[in-house]
């Protein structure tokens, strides 16, 4: 079988691109300051228990009367209950165990006496009873007015006193009267809707402390009854005081997360998905349960002020089980042999709610509560329920109800929930089952006395599980990986070791085995620690600038200069920042010089007392989101003047690893032995460095130099006079561009041309024991040393600390105001650099442009002052100006157009641009166009084709090519939520054909244009990991054609405006006018692809109802694939597999959690959950699966696996003969088959 023979997209022998950790941008709100941690927060849930004390609770267990009932109060020795026992006695024993004649517990049993199940202060508890025949204080109605104080049964933390109050209440229960079930539901709901008050159920400590009123607190209603309701609810016990059908799915109802429940259209699929919940009848318990779950219990929530007295602070997170649930579940066949399938959002096993809501559990404690004779047909001698007659049959499991019986029939609508009224008592017990489903709880049908205690225990076990979450060690250490031609370099961080971080090296042999690199003999932290006695000798550089309006400040003071990082070299403002301690509020001291030495590696001031600095395990700090960048000798093969000589001069250059650290520095390590050669402290990090010395820093982590660096070769002497100036004298340098990521705004540039020279390892393909290639003696000495002027190594620094505010300028400081205006468009740049398709060691963002100038091209990132998406073109030659190309112009900045937005509105609200994908259309090594996404889901295209930079701007008349919107839940029709685009798109010229015309005029032509593939999702704000909205993989068609500009010199492209054909002209192919696609998949005419899971999460295939082909390319513009797992998103760059059109997509459900005080209730950190990662193979052109089996799969014959679950963290792809090896950070190696087909890759000319 032949393999792909097209131009290689990657050097794959032992030169592998690391699919490494990439963090995505966040909204301009609240950025994370630490990676996911492992301390499980606990917020006590609110639990309301509603008890039935109706007359039937005096009945025997086995009869609907009290004839021959006995007063036994304890079960038999085997735990069973005699059938003649009274129900009330069984209930009391289940709740509080055996009681003496004085009413006190004597055996320590019972759910509320079990301090393992319900420890002191574990939950918050309130209770009510139908009639309060025992005259317990306030117990007749939980809905007390908090402004008038608290009743004994009001919501409180269940300390020992409140526990005893509940026990006394249970002891006093006395059965009498009917079963007003609606009243219990109505009062429980109304209580949770009371205004915020220190005596109310939302208070931090009800009865004592009000704020913070936590919106992340979960709420539960446990309703226990032994019968069916028999009377219509009064007006006051109806929802809203009127007849209401809250679970009606025949009308449109939007849930708080924008998920859609119901539709006014008969055949709308959402009706089919929600039939298990719906009926068309008013005033049922199921209506109340659905209302309490679906309608926020407080109108004001999602607050950001912890001290607010009218708004809940924070939000409840989606249940962990829902996040891990399969995207669909098949509950078997209904009686019509139709599959009963539910999406995870509408699966009552799971709770996706993110608003203040109440979950309902129901307990039916007699046959009257779990049988419905008026709605059950039976057949045969065994009295078997007959589903085919549309009876509702009970599941086989009763405690709790299982998911068989008529459950599949209710899912598909083969049977419906019946109308219930006071006259339908033979059916009304169904309301308990229905209510539990609608409230996302469970229904417990108690047949035996002993099962009542089991029911209560299981409910509290479930409540404990949902609020304690799941503890994992997933975030104890993190990794990302880089590769060169013989080795792999991995960074790790260890929070438990005082946020120690390091890089270590391994070697891959020809079989894909991974072994330690003996030349390193350890890791970078160990090597730095060995040098800490000589901390002053480290080459640590920084940038001095004066950001405050001080007397005598000049423009050069504002622009700043490169310095050696020493306290005396800093500006007055920088010194003042370092002379602050970490108290709150900060206090001035005179220890700034000591703090600088501490950052450089001095340990003599460390200790554990208040007057010492934090004790470190290593002087190297954690590396979290910064991807390692490997740079060796020049290898860009640029056909430009002087580059061949530059490559020869710097052949044998010491290969370097550059990576940002949260110790305040970018580090440059030798890839040969791991020794640090250079470090850089950006000026934007300096105001926060004091936090690193604080004794509480280990629990208050901050990001510093958290962005990912990149390098590229640049001719800094290049001038835009002409394309090939004979008189031009080149000056080639290797430039490094770094960002602070989550640690700060902006970027910095270093000249890393000459770190020194080293022997080369054996060439790829040689025996590993072959001798190294020796450095020629003519090579110059390294300038990475203290004798080199810092200005030779540091080119510029445009970073800013987010705590410092804007650059301060007086009105007469014209130059300062110009810099300030530029900086208003610079935010946190968090995206991973975009690598060149033919050279993975080269960044496409460091490039020559059509004005012949060299620049780094960046998305402006997030949390910029102007809050808008801007393409930044930072020139690296000449005067090193900054050119801003805004995707969105502002009324008060760029234009007087009154329709333009102002800051904080429209597309300038919480917005910013991610990493751009630059494309060289005609192979002249000048980038012509750029694609980049923003935080509101807009995919922008920038036209850079002109020789004149003043002509550059947004294509499509200033409109985005496409705007991505998605649903709150999979397969939900409401695709209205913005989907942030944070990773650079991947592009390829469309190589498909389409049929145009009909009949005799039909002909086949090229589709043309460019396919632009990208995914959505982000993970940098504090709450991003908890967001469960659906994210999507897209591939959309940019139909633009190009042509050379007429009479242009130098020769440049331009966008073709489109051109039709003259009437009667045969063989003419019209050129389409460039057309934006609009907002959403319907407007853009995209075809849906679907993932079909085979075995849980492990393997899946791809299907489509309307595959893209000759017949429909003329009317379609690409495809989309919704990620199926809850919280799944794209955070890593998309690669091509084996040089073909197949995309390799690594998507993640990100880890979540924090390192917090577990004893403090907070909404600032959610439950701990580990990262899960998936790999999908999909064709960029049509969204189809690969034509051959790439993965090893021995399941279904002829089944093409397109997706599988893979190990979390970084993955590297390596070619070995007829196999590709996917290697993760745990050294697991997966063999993948190579693609056999050859892909024709159109040039830009074929896109005309």
For residue range 981-1033, what is the model confidence (pLDDT) as tens digits? Answer: 999 999 999 999 999 888 888 899 999 999 999 999 999 888 888 888 999 99
The yes-or-no verdict on residue 1113 having pLDDT over 90 is: yes
Structure confidence at residue 1212 (pLDDT): 80
724-742, pLDDT tens digit by residue? 667 788 999 999 999 999 9
For the cut 50, the answer to whether the pLDDT of residue 853 exceeds it is yes
pLDDT, mean of residues 805-817: 93
Query: Residue 23: which of 665, 742, 860 has the closest Cα?
Result: 742
pLDDT-above-70 percentage for the chain: 89
Q: Which residues pair with 398 in a beta bridge?
A: 401
205: DSSP letter: B
Per-residue pLDDT, 1151:
85
pLDDT at 1065: 61
Which residues are CB-neighbours of 1217 under 8 A, at least 6 positions away? none
Contacts with 1172 (C-beta within 8 Å, 6 or more apart), sequence order: 324, 1097, 1125, 1148, 1149, 1205, 1208
pLDDT band at 1096 (very low <50, low <70, confident <90, very high): low
Cα atoms in the 13 Å half-sphere on the side-chain side of 27: 14
**693-718 burial, b if ≥16 CB within 10 A, otherwise e?**
bbbebbeebbbbbbbbbbbbbbbbeb
Q: In the chain, how many H helices and how many E strands?
A: 19, 58
The torsion region of residue 880 among left (phi > 0), alpha (psi -120 to 50) and beta comes to left
The band of 376, judged by pLDDT with boundaries at 50, 70 and 90, is: low
Q: Is residue 1197 very low, low, confident or very high in pLDDT (cuts 50, 70, 90)?
A: low
Average pLDDT over residues 1156-1177: 79
The tokens for 643 are 């580059």
| DSSP secondary structure of 944-991 | --SSSGGG-EETGGG--SEE-EE-SSTT-S---EE----S--EEEE--
pLDDT of residue 382: 43
pTM above 0.85, yes or no: no
> What is the distance between the alpha carbons of residues 702 and 710, in angstroms, rounded to a whole number?
23
pLDDT band at 769 (very low <50, low <70, confident <90, very high): low
pLDDT at residue 724, rounded to an integer: 62
Residue 1156's pLDDT is what? Answer: 60
Residue 1187 has pLDDT above 80, yes or no: yes
Give the mean pLDDT of 418-435: 93
Do the beta carbons of residue 207 and residue 150 sit within 8 Å? yes
- Higher-confidence position of 487 and 1003: 1003
pLDDT over 60 at 476, yes or no: no
Share of the chain above pLDDT 90, in %: 66
Two tokens, residue 275: 């039939």
Confidence of residue 506 (pLDDT cuts 50, 70, 90): confident
Query: Looking at 547-556, 802-811, 837-846, 948-957, which range is the least confident one?
Result: 837-846
pLDDT interval class at 513 (50, 70, 90): confident
Lowest mean pLDDT among 59-63, 790-794, 827-831, 1090-1094: 1090-1094
Looking at per-residue pLDDT, the higher value among 619 and 384 belongs to 619
Q: How far apart are the C-alpha atoms of 683 and 557, rounded to whole Å?
A: 13
Task: Read off the DSSP letter of residue 55.
Answer: G
**Residues for the chain: how many in total?**
1248
- Compute the Cα dihedral for 347, 349, 354, 358 and give only its sign: positive
Tell me what pLDDT residue 1099 has.
83
pLDDT of 21 above 90: no
Q: Is 1066 exposed, middle or buried, given 0-12, 13-18 or 19+ CB atoms closer than 10 A?
A: exposed
Residue with tokens 């009949």: 999
- pLDDT on residue 767: 54
Local confidence band at 1154 (pLDDT 50, 70, 90 cut-offs):
low
Identify the DSSP state of 1186. P
Q: What is the pLDDT of residue 391?
A: 86
Give me the pLDDT at residue 1095, please. Answer: 59
Quickly tell me which residue has 């504002």 as its tokens.
Answer: 558
Q: Alpha carbon of 353 to those of 124, 212, 246, 940, 969: distances in Å?
A: 21, 21, 17, 33, 11
At residue 592, the pLDDT reads: 97
Per-residue pLDDT at 221: 99
Provide the pLDDT for residue 511.
Answer: 64
pLDDT given at position 264: 83
Whole-number Å distance between alpha carbons of 645 and 54: 96
Predicted confidence (pLDDT) at residue 485 exceeds the cutoff of 50: no
pLDDT at 1160: 79
Q: Mean pLDDT score of the chain, rounded to an integer?
A: 88
């Amino acid at each position: 079988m032949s393999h792909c023979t097209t131009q290689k997209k990657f050097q794959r022998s032992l030169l592998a691109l690391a699919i490494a950790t990439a963090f995505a941008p966040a909204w301009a709100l609240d950025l994370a300051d630490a990676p996911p941690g492992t301390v499980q927060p606990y917020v006590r849930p609110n639990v309301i228990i509603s008890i039935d004390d109706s007359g039937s609770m005096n009945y025997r267990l086995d009869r609907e009367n009290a004839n021959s009932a006995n007063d036994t109060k304890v079960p038999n020795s085997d735990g069973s209950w005699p059938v003649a026992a009274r129900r009330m006695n069984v209930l009391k024993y289940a709740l509080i165990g055996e009681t003496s004649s004085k009413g006190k517990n004597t055996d320590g049993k019972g759910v509320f006496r079990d301090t393992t199940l319900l420890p002191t202060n574990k939950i918050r508890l309130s209770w009510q009873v139908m009639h309060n025949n025992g005259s317990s204080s306030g117990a007749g109605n939980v809905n007390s007015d908090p402004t008038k104080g608290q009743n004994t049964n009001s919501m409180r933390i269940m300390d020992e006193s409140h526990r005893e109050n509940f026990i006394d209440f249970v002891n006093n229960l006395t059965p009498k009267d009917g079963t007003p079930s609606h009243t219990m539901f109505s009062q429980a709901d109304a209580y949770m809707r009371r205004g915020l008050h220190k005596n109310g159920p939302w208070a931090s400590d009800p009865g004592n402390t009000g704020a913070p009123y936590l919106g992340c607190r979960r709420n539960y209603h446990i309703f226990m009854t032994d019968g069916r309701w028999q009377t219509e609810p009064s007006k006051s016990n109806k929802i809203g005081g009127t007849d209401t059908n809250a679970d009606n799915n025949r009308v449109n109802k939007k849930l708080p997360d924008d998920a859609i429940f119901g539709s006014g259209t008969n055949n709308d699929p959402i009706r089919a998905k929600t039939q298990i919940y719906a009926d068309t009848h008013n005033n049922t318990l199921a209506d109340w349960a659905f209302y309490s779950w679906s309608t926020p219990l407080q109108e004001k929530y999602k607050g950001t002020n912890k001290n607010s007295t009218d708004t809940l602070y924070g939000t409840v997170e989606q249940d962990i089980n829902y996040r891990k649930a399969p995207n669909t579940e098949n509950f078997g066949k209904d009686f019509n042999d139709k599959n009963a399938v539910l999406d995870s959002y509408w699966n009552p096993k799971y709770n996706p709610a993110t608003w203040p809501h109440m979950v309902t559990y129901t307990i039916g404690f007699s046959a009257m509560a779990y049988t419905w004779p008026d709605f059950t047909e039976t057949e045969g001698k065994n009295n078997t329920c007959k589903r085919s007659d549309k009876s509702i049959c009970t599941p086989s499991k009763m405690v709790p109800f299982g998911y068989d019986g008529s459950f599949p029939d209710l899912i598909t609508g083969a049977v419906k929930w019946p109308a219930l009224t006071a006259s339908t008592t033979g059916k009304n017990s169904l309301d308990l089952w229905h209510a539990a489903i609608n409230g996302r709880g469970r229904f417990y049908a108690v047949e035996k006395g002993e099962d009542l205690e089991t029911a209560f225990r299981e409910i509290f076990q479930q409540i404990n599980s949902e609020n304690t979450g799941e503890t994992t060690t997933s975030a104890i250490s993190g990794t990302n990986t880089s590769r060169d031609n013989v080795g792999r370099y991995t960074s790790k961080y260890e929070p438990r070791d005082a946020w120690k971080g390091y890089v270590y090296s391994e070697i891959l042999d020809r079989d894909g085995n991974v072994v330690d690199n003996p030349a390193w003999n350890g890791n970078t932290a160990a090597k730095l620690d060995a040098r800490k006695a000589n901390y002053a000798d480290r080459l640590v550089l920084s940038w001095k600038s004066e950001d405050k309006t001080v007397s005598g400040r000049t423009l050069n003071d504002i622009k700043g200069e490169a310095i050696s990082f020493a306290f005396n070299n800093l500006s007055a403002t920088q010194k003042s920042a370092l002379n602050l301690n970490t108290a709150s509020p900060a206090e001035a001291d005179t220890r700034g010089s000591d703090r600088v030495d501490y950052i450089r590696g001095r340990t003599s001031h460390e200790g554990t007392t208040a007057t010492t600095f934090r004790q470190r395990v290593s002087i190297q700090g954690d590396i979290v989101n910064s991807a390692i960048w490997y740079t060796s000798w020049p290898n860009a093969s640029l056909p430009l003047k002087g580059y061949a000589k530059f490559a020869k001069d710097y052949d044998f250059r010491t290969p370097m690893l550059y990576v940002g650290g949260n110790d305040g520095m970018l580090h440059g390590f030798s890839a040969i032995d791991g020794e640090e050669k250079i470090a850089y402290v950006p000026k934007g990090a300096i105001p926060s460095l004091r936090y690193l010395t604080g004794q509480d820093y280990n629990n208050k982590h901050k990001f510093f130099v958290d962005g990912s660096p990149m390098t590229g070769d640049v001719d800094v002497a290049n001038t835009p006079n002409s394309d090939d100036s004979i008189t031009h004298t080149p000056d080639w340098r290797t430039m490094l561009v770094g960002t602070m990521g989550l640690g700060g705004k902006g970027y910095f540039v270093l000249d890393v041309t000459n770190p020194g020279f080293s022997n080369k390892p054996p060439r790829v393909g040689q025996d590993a024991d072959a001798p190294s290639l020796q450095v020629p003696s003519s090579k110059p000495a390294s300038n990475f040393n203290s004798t080199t002027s810092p200005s030779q190594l540091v080119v510029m620094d445009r970073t800013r600390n987010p705590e410092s505010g804007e650059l301060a300028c007086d009105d007469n400081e014209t130059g300062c105001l110009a810099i300030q205006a530029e900086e208003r468009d610079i935010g946190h740049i968090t995206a991973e650099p975009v690598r060149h398709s033919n050279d993975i060691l080269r960044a496409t963002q460091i490039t020559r442009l059509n004005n012949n100038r060299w620049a780094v091209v960046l998305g402006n990132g997030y949390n910029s002052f102007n809050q808008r998406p801007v393409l930044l073109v930072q020139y690296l030659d000449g005067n090193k100006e900054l050119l801003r190309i805004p995707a969105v112009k502002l009324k008060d900045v760029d234009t007087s157009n009154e329709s333009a937005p102002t800051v904080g509105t429209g597309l300038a609200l919480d917005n910013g641009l991610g990493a751009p994908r630059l494309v060289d259309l005609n192979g002249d090594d000048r980038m012509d166009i750029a694609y980049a996404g923003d935080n509101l889901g807009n995919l922008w295209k920038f036209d850079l084709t002109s020789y004149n930079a003043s002509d550059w701007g947004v294509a499509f008349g200033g409109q985005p090519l496409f705007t991505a919107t998605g649903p709150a839940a999979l397969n939900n029709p409401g695709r209205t939520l913005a989907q942030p685009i944070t990773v650079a798109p991947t592009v390829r010229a469309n190589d498909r054909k389409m049929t145009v015309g009909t009949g005799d005029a039909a002909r086949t032509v090229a589709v043309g244009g460019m396919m632009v593939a990208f995914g959505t999702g982000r993970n940098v704000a504090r709450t991003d990991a908890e967001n469960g909205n659906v994210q999507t993989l897209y591939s959309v068609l940019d139909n633009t054609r190009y042509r050379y500009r007429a009479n242009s010199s130098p020769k440049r492209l331009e966008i073709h405006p489109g051109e039709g054909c003259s009437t009667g002209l045969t063989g003419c192919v019209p050129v389409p006018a460039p057309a934006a696609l609009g907002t959403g998949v319907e407007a853009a005419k995209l075809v849906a692809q679907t993932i079909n899971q085979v075995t849980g999460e492990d393997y899946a295939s791809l299907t489509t109802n309307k595959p893209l082909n000759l017949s429909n390319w003329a009317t379609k513009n690409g495809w989309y694939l919704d990620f199926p797992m809850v919280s799944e998103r794209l955070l890593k760059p998309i690669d091509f597999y084996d040089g073909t059109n197949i995309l390799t997509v690594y998507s993640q459900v990100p880890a979540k959690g924090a390192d917090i005080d577990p004893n403090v209730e907070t909404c600032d950190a959610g439950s701990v959950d580990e990262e899960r990662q998936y790999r999908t193979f999909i064709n960029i052109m049509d969204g189809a699966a690969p034509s051959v089996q790439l993965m090893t799969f021995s399941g279904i014959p002829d089944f093409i696996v397109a997706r599988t679950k893979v190990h979390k963290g970084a993955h590297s792809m390596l070619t070995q003969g007829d196999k590709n090896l996917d290697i993760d950070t745990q050294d697991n190696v997966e063999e993948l088959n190579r693609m056999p087909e050859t892909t024709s890759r159109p040039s830009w000319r074929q896109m005309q």
